[in-house]
Amino acid sequence: MKRPNFFISGAPRCSTTALYTYLSMHPRIFMSEVKELNYFATDFPNVQKITFRSIDDYHKVFSKANEQHLAVGEASPFYLFSKVAFQKMYSYDPAARVILTLRHPVDFVESYHQLNLSLLREDEPDLAKAWDKQALRKNGQCIPKSARQAELLLYGDLGQFGKYVEKLFGIFPRKQVKIFLFDDFRANPRDVYEDTLAFLGVPSDGREEFLPINASFENRSAFLARLFHPPQPVYRVFMKLVSVFGADFMKNVSIVYNRLERLNTARKPRPTMDATLRARLLEHFTPDVEKLAGLIGRDLSMWLEG
């Protein structure tokens, strides 16, 4: 049986879905059919799309991987924010490889806030007000009914990529970690793709076309959005019911669910952030950007310019 040996581990809204999609099409790579398994993020149980009762359940997701696949992986962007995922991942396979894609933290917050709105995990459409609610949300207040994990609404914490990378480097050897910037992916996706294949020890398939994937979107139908993203108590009951039928059944339910959800989305241009708010967020993230620059050996001064 082939086991996963690499993980796309974050951050959300930083081209993780695009990289997952491109790698899924490579004939020598097997990616789990369900994205965002979050198996190792046991501190975020409400974002797991499959209820895993054992490691065997997790391995069933990769049962179609065979000898032709030189690399087997999954993509769960919330691993980056988990307090336990990387340590559990290392215990599972000390030789595993970890891939991160990161972006300007203010752009991340803006995009991630929009994603949460579309998924009904955020009920405050004004980003400035959502930012100001963080202190209340840390105390369990003002949590949207459909929010899966309250911690994943703390935008000021989530955008501090430096502290998460520092923790990752304390667990995995740096040679087993590959970090890309969203800027690089947008400028030349082919180079990022080929670099990823080299990192995984997989030969190039000569791919030349890299269409945009998972750009900003909004729901076509508010009713269907509420149906797909019910309040947390309803979601928990649903997950408990379908889990009775086992991991394979839950995998198929998740695949169908994701396809239906995509049909309810439409492309949407990203609005321009208020300059005052952008400056406020940039001031908050500046120390961490400087930390990240030192950790990954990249000049990130352009991020500090606005």
- The whole-number pLDDT of residue 215 equals 61
CB 148 within 8 A of CB 46: yes
- The whole-number pLDDT of residue 106 equals 97
Domains parsed from the chain with CATH numbers = 6-297 (3.40.50.300)
Whether the pLDDT of residue 219 is over 90: the answer is no
CB 42 within 8 A of CB 48: no
Give the pLDDT mean for 161-184: 97
For residue 130, whether the previous peptide bond is cis, meaning omega lies within 30 degrees of 0, is: no
Whether the pLDDT of residue 63 is over 70: the answer is yes
For 93-151, how does the pLDDT look when each residue is reduced to its tens digit (9 = 90+)? 999 999 999 999 999 999 999 999 998 999 999 999 999 999 999 999 999 999 989 99
Whether the pLDDT of residue 224 is over 90: the answer is no
Q: Take residue 85 and report the two structure tokens written for it.
A: 């995922």
Cα angle vertex 31, ends 28, 19, to 5°?
A: 90
Give the pLDDT mean for 70-96: 98
Length of the chain: 306
Alpha helices in 119-231 (DSSP H): 127-132, 134-138, 155-158, 161-169, 182-187, 189-200, 222-228
The residue ranking higher by pLDDT, 226 or 121, is 121
Using 50, 70 and 90 to split pLDDT, how confident is the model at 217?
low
- The whole-number pLDDT of residue 216 equals 58
- The whole-number pLDDT of residue 234 equals 78
pLDDT over 90 percentage in the chain: 74
Give the pLDDT mean for 187-215: 92
The residue ranking higher by pLDDT, 265 or 210, is 210
Residues 6+ apart with CB under 8 A from 64: 30, 33
Q: Take residue 301 and report the two structure tokens written for it.
A: 């001064």
Q: Which amino acid is at 234?
A: V
Cα angle vertex 268, ends 23, 124, to 5°?
A: 105
DSSP structure string for 213-235: -S-SEEES-HHHHHHHS--HHHH
The residue ranking higher by pLDDT, 276 or 228, is 276
Whether the pLDDT of residue 159 is over 70: the answer is yes
DSSP structure string for 19-82: HHHHHHT-TTEEE-SSS---TT-TT-GGG-SS--SSHHHHHHTTTT--TT-SEEEEE-GGGGG-
- The whole-number pLDDT of residue 289 equals 98
Whether the pLDDT of residue 241 is over 90: the answer is no
